[in-house]
Amino acid sequence: MIRGQLGLRAFVQDYINECRALARAQLGYYARQPTLQATIEFAARCIDSGGSRFSHQHRRSQSTLDAARDVLTAALHQLCQCSSFAQLHETVDRLVAHIPDLGELYSYDTALHIGAKLGLTPDVVYLHCGTRVGARNLGLPHRRRTLDLDCLRAELLALAPYEIEDFLCIYKSFLSEGMA
């Protein structure tokens, strides 16, 4: 990964070169699960394609993730009825809201992974703690739940909305409002 005083375009290109393939492979892993139930189980437990827990979800206890898995698998019919990513995200968020220690990042990640199986992807950029920092550092509206694509800098539009979410989080410490 590149470091230093570079322009936004260079960071976006670095994301494309260094991160895009893995991000797409992870979504492909969920899409290829034999059943929606299997996808929900892996997504709810934050399991990546290597069989490990995603590093950004490492603070969640196993009992918390098991509780989320139980709730989400019981709601399989509800989840498969979702016709947009926004509806899926809201459904996941609502279903796990009562489980302590699960927040915006968990709901987003889980919906993104289930959405891969259902063919539903975000059409806006979802913000949570890490992405809010990146958005704030770039001078973007960061107090919202989502960012519409029309409020983003042109350089970011080389990425899909889920990639922009990933980019803002990964590169947050290197981004600044005044960068070219």
Q: Which tens digit of pLDDT belongs to each residue from 34-87?
A: 999 999 999 999 998 888 777 777 788 899 999 999 999 999 999 999 999 999
Cβ proximity of 176 and 164 under 8 Å: no
> Rounded to two decimals, what is the model's pTM?
0.93
What are the DSSP calls for 99-137, one per residue? Answer: STT--HHHHHHHHHHHHHHHT---SSEE--HHHHHHHHH
Q: What is the DSSP letter of 140?
A: -
Q: What is the pLDDT of residues 80-134, one digit of tens each?
A: 999 999 999 999 999 999 999 898 999 999 999 999 999 999 999 999 989 999 9
What pLDDT band is residue 142 in, cutting at 50, 70 and 90?
Answer: very high
Do residues 67 and 102 make contact, with C-beta atoms less than 8 angstroms apart? no
Token pair 């259902």 is at which residue? 118
